[in-house]
Amino acid sequence: MNLNVDFGTKATLLQGLTCSGQSFCGSDFDAVKAELLQEFDWVQSVKALAANLLAPYEQNGQAPYFDVQEITNEVLDGIPVPQSDDATMKWLNIVEQVVPIAGKVANAVKTANEVFGVIGTAGLLATQVMQTPDAGPADAVKAAADQLPDQMAHEQTAYVEWVSRMEGILLYDYGRLSAVGAAATTPSWAWQPDTTIDAITSLDAGTRASAYSALLPIAWSGFDLKPGADLTGSDDVTAYYCDEPDNYPSHVTPFAGALPQNQFHALLEVSSSGEPVDEVWTFATTPLPWSLHDVAVTLPTGSVTDNIYGSTSTGPNGAYQYEPAWWRDTYDPPSHTTCQKGEGSMSVSESWSQAFAPPDITAPLP
C-alpha cells in the first residue's frame, strides 16, 4: 500500500461511480462500493491517528513539542547528583501517567479521556515492542546520571519510529484496520485543537516525575521515622529520638530541622484502641553504618518537592504528582529506616534507633 495516497480523494471518486444495466456489474456492486467507502474512511482515520500520535514529538517552527532529553536535563541540573552514579529512569512511567496527569491539566477537560487513553496505550505497546540489548522490554533506562538524558532521548526516538511503523501494520491488516479505524471515527477519539498541547504538558510532567524518582534518591535518601514501643506515633519530626536507652535523659533529634515541604506524613497502622499511628518520611543523607552517639545527618536546606507535588507542581515546571503515590513509587522501600519515637519502656539491651541499607529485592521476571 502506498501510504501517500489520499484516500479521501479516492473516496470522492468512488462515491460518484455507478453501474447499472451491465452484466459485469453483478448484484454486489453497491455492497462492495459501500464496503470500500467504509475502508477508505478507516484508512484516513488511521493515518490521521498516527499523525496525531506523533504531533507532540514533532518540532514545527516555533510550536512547542515534547523533548524528554531537555526535560530530564532540567531536573538533573537542579539536583546535586553525583554525575557518575547510576540512575534508573522509567520510560513506561512517563506514558502511563499521561491519563492521570491530563485530568489535572486545565485544557484537558475539553478533551475526552479516551484520547489520552489512546496516547498512553500507544506508549505502552511501543514500550513492549521496543527491546533492550538483552531482548527485554525497554520500559526503563539505567545509566550514569549525566548520561541519562541522552539515553532517554534514544527511547523517544525508538517510540517515534514504532508509531511510524504502526501505521503500516494497521493498514495492512483488515482486522486491525476495522477495529482501530472504526474507533478512530467516533467522537470520543476526536483530536481537539488543544489535545496536542495538553499531551505535551502531560508528557513533560510525566518525564519530570520519572526523572525526580530516578535522580532524587541519589542525592537524598528517604528516611522512614517510626514510632516507639507504645505505637502512638507522631507527625512531629522533633519527637523522633535517635538514642539508645543508656543515653537517657539526653536526646538526639537529627531530623528536627526537616522542612515541612520535605516531610511526608503517613498512616502506619491503627492501634488496638482505634487510634491512628503515624510515621514521617523525609529526606536526608548519613553515612552507614552510623554511630548513635554521633549521628551525622545532612538535611536539604530548601524544599525539594515544590515542583513534584508542592506549590508549583502544576506550573510550567511541575510534575503534577500525588504525594503518597510519588513517595511510594520513589522510595519503596525507603533507603533507610531509622529513629523510633522516644516513648514507652525500652530495655537497655534494645536500641531505640536503627539504620538499615535498602533491602536487595530481586525484580520479578517480565
The rounded distance, in Å, linking the Cα atoms of 322 and 23 is 69
165-174, 193-202, 266-275: the lowest-pLDDT one: 165-174
Does residue 3 have a pLDDT over 80?
Answer: no
User: What's the whole-number mean pLDDT along residues 270-284?
Assistant: 82
- Which of the pair, 65 or 226, is modelled with greater confidence? 65
What is the H or E stretch that residue 63 is in?
Answer: none
Highest mean pLDDT among 31-35, 120-124, 234-238, 248-252: 234-238
pLDDT at 295: 64
- Which of the pair, 7 or 77, is modelled with greater confidence? 77
Task: Check: CB of residue 358 under 8 Å from CB of residue 246.
Answer: no
- Which of the pair, 155 or 355, is modelled with greater confidence? 155
pTM (predicted TM-score): 0.79
**Dmax (CA) of the chain:** 107
Confidence of residue 120 (pLDDT cuts 50, 70, 90): confident
The rounded distance, in Å, linking the Cα atoms of 218 and 285 is 10
φ/ψ region of 346 (left if φ > 0, alpha if ψ in -120 to 50, else beta) reads beta
**DSSP at 109:** G
- Which of the pair, 307 or 118, is modelled with greater confidence? 307
Q: What percent of the chain has pLDDT over 90?
A: 18
Query: For the segment 310-359, what is each residue's pLDDT rounded down to a tens digit?
Result: 999 999 999 999 999 899 888 876 665 566 655 545 444 444 455 555 55
Q: State the amino acid at position 199 in one-letter form.
A: A
C-alpha cell at 17: 461511480
Please state, in angstroms and as integers, the Cα–Cα distance from residue 363 to each residue in 116, 157, 248, following that order: 29, 27, 42
pLDDT at 226: 75
The rounded distance, in Å, linking the Cα atoms of 149 and 310 is 24
| 3-state secondary structure at position 197 | helix
The rounded distance, in Å, linking the Cα atoms of 30 and 20 is 10
Instruction: Give me the DSSP letters along 261-326.
Output: GGEEEEEEEE-TTS-EEEEEEEEEB--SSPBTTB---B--SS-S-TTTTSTTTTSTT-----HHHH
